[in-house]
Amino acid sequence: MSIHFELKRTVQVSREDTYNSLLDLEAAKQWMQGLVRIERLDEGPLEAGSRWRETRKMFGKEATEHFEVVEIDEPSKIVLRCDGTKGTTGKGEFIFTYQLASAGDMTHTEIILHGEINGLTGLSRFFGKMMAGSFKKACAKDLDQLIAYLEK
């Protein structure tokens, strides 16, 4: 059984700039909460199949997760996958789908983030349902910080 959530935000930046910022791993240190480092596991521009390790400080400890770009449809969609089995989480699969649409006079962008958590079993499944709200709040904080960074 999957756990789903959705977030919607509007940013006063063009869709193209929003899209490029979501894929700019170097700039992530400017807005991503608790980011310690991002290590690319390949080279070149981000495209389907690109991978990296992302380390953040959470609850006073470092946690590292493995990310992969699953799909890119420039400038309207980015799908990222976090393989929890390869990172600190130790289980699960987390899918983040960012859909971007021009809003208003083309200088605003509506961001819709669809989150999906799969592969949790046993107790982690039970606690996963309980923690879905906290996970959604953490994603909302990241999205809000990205927007604040973009609108500076």
pLDDT of the residue at 130: 65
Express each pLDDT in 129-145 by its tens digit.
666 777 889 899 999 99
Express each pLDDT in 32-66 by its tens digit.
999 999 999 999 999 999 999 999 998 789 999 99
State the average pLDDT over residues 14-24.
Answer: 96
| Pick from 59, 65, 94, 101: nearest CA to 79 | 94
Q: Where in the chain are the domains?
A: 3-150
Q: Which CATH number fits domain 3-150: 3.30.530.20, 3.50.50.60, 1.10.3720.10, 3.30.70.20?
A: 3.30.530.20
Q: What is the pTM of this model?
A: 0.92
pLDDT band at 125 (very low <50, low <70, confident <90, very high): low
pLDDT of the residue at 133: 78
| Pick from 65, 139, 63: nearest CA to 98 | 139
